[in-house]
Amino acid sequence: MIKNNTPIFIFLSAHGASAFALGVHQVLLAWLSVTVLQLDSHALGWVQAAGLLPNLVFMLVAGALADKRGAFTLLWKAQLGLTFCYLSLALLLAFNQLGLFSLIVYASLVGTANAFLQPSREKVIGELSEHRLQTKITRASSVQFSLQGLGVLVAALSDNIGFVFVILVQSLFSFMATMQMLNLKRFSEALKDKAHITELPESLLQQILQGIRVVARDTRIAQLIGLIGFNGYMHLGVYIVVVPLLARDVYQFTALQYGLLQFAFIAGMLSAYIIISFKKQIDYPGQGALFSLLYTAILGFALSKQPTETGLYMLIVFWGWVAGNSATHCRMVVQLLVPIDTRARVMSLYQIVLFGMAPLGAIVTGHFAKLYTLNFVFTVLSATSVAMFVFFLFTRSLWAVKCK
C-alpha cells in the first residue's frame, strides 16, 4: 500500500498524468496526419520521424545532466515544455493554421522535451522506492500504461468532441504532472538526490563518453543496446507508420476505431506488466527480451495474411504484450548491470538507440509502403526477427544475464 503523501505516490501521480497526455499525443499526431492533412505514407514517415529524431541530438546530453545536476529538476522543466507544446497545437487547430511544416515542428518539439524527460524519469524510479527491481519497474509501467490508455480513449473521441477540446484536456493533465513534479522536487534533498550525483568530469562531452565506455566494457550491455537498436528500427519504426495506414487505407477506420486500435496496443502492454508483476522472480531477464523476437515473428506472419477487423484488434493486443514484455526485461537488464552513478547516462544511450533507429525505420517503412504492399512489410518484419533471435542465441552473453 502506498501512502498518498510519500514521494513514490507523488511520482506515480505525475508519471500517470504525463502518460495520459502522451497517450493523447500518440493518437492525434498520426490521426491529424492521415485525416486532417491527408498525408501519404512517405510524408507520414517524416512526421513520425520528426518526433523521434531529437533523441539523437539531446538524449545523451539529458542523461549526463540528470547524473550531474539532478533528475528532479530536469523532470519538471521537461514536462512544462511539453505543456506549452500541446497548447501550441491547440492554437494552430483553432486558427486553422495546421500544415505539414507546422506539424513536423510540433512533433520535433515534443520529441525534444521527451528526450530530456525519459532518462531523468528512469533514474528517479531507481531512487524513490526500496521495493525489489521487478516490482518498481512493473508498478511504474502499470500506472503509465493505464493512464496512457485512458488518454488514447479520450483522443479517440476527437471526431465527436473536437480536436481542440481534447488537446485542452491533454494540456491540463500535463500541467498537473508539472505541478506534481515540482512537489516531488521538495523531497530531493531528503532522498539524498545529491548523494547519487557523483563527482563527474566538468566537460559534458567527457560525461557522455564515460557512459559510452560503461557500455563498451560490458559485452552484455553492448548486446542489449544492439537488440534495442533492432527493436527501434524494425518494430517501433514499422508500427508508427504501418498501423495508421492500415487503419485508413485497408480497414477505413474512423477516429474512434483508430483510437480503440491504439488502446488495444496499450492494453496489451499493460497486461504484460501485470503478468510480470505477479511473477515471483525473473531469473534470466535477457532470455525474456530475446524470446520477444520470436513472438514478433509470429505476429508479423499473422498480420501479413490481412486478418479480419476482429483479428486485427486481437493481433494489436498481442503486439502490445510483446512490446511490454520486451521493454520490461530489457530495463531489468540495465538496472541489474549498470551502477546507479552512471545509470541515467547508460539509459539515455539505451533510449537514443531505440528512438534514434525508430525514425530511420519509419522513413524506410514509408518508402517501402509506397513501393510494396503492407503484407510484404510484415513479412520482412517476421523474417528479420527470426534472424536476430538466432544471432543473439549463439552469442550467449545477453542470454546468460541472471538476477542476483
The tens digit of pLDDT for each residue in 16-37 reads: 999 999 999 988 998 899 888 9
Q: Could you give phi then psi for residue 401, rounded to 5 degrees?
A: -60, 125
**CA–CA separation, 88 vs 81, rounded Å?**
11
- Please report the sign of the dihedral spanned by the C-alpha atoms of residue 79, residue 22, residue 357, residue 67: positive
Mean pLDDT of 92-114: 93
Residue 195 confidence (pLDDT) above 50: no
Residue 403 lies in a domain: no
Q: What is the pLDDT of residues 303-342, one digit of tens each?
A: 999 899 999 999 999 999 998 888 888 888 877 777 766 6
In the chain, how many domains are there?
A: 1
299 found inside a domain = yes
**Hey, what's the cell of 302?**
499473422
Q: Do the Cβ atoms of 177 and 17 come closer than 8 Å?
A: yes
Classify residue 235: in a domain, yes or no: yes
- Residue 63 binned pLDDT confidence (cut-offs 50, 70, 90): confident
Percentage of the chain modeled with pLDDT above 70: 85
Q: Is residue 191 in some structural domain? A: no
What CATH number is given to the structural domain containing 37? Answer: 1.20.1250.20
- Looking at mean pLDDT, say which of 79-88, 147-156, 183-192, 366-375 comes out highest: 79-88
d(CA 196, CA 208): 17
Residue 332 lies in a domain: yes
Burial of residue 161 (CB within 10 Å: 0-12, 13-18, 19+) is: exposed
Compute the distance between CA of residue 4 and CA of residue 11 in angstroms, rounded to an integer. 10
Percent of the chain having pLDDT more than 90? 28
Please report the pLDDT score of residue 87 as a whole number.
Answer: 96
For 43, the domain range is 7-184+203-395
Residues 6 or more apart whose CB falls under 8 angstroms from that of 276 comprise: 134, 138, 282, 325, 328
370-375 LR contacts (CB < 8 Å, sep 24+): 370/40, 370/41, 370/42, 374/242, 374/245, 374/246, 374/250, 375/303, 375/304, 375/305, 375/306
Domain membership of residue 168 (yes or no) is yes
Q: Map residue 259 onto helix, strand or coil.
A: helix
Q: Is the pLDDT of residue 384 over 60?
A: yes
Does this model's pTM top 0.85?
A: no
Grid coordinates of 79:
514536462
Alpha-carbon gap, residue 193 to 277, rounded angstroms: 27
Q: Answer whether residue 280 is part of any domain.
A: yes
CA distance 403 to 328: 14
**Residue appearing with cell numbers 477505413:** 252
pLDDT of residue 127: 64
pLDDT for 189 beyond 80 = no
Q: Residue type at 6?
A: T
Cell of 333: 537488464
Task: Quote the CA–CA distance of 30 and 87 in Å, as a whole number.
Answer: 18
Q: What is the DSSP letter of 120?
A: H
**Residues with Cβ < 8 Å from 10, sequence gap 6 or more?**
180, 183, 184, 187
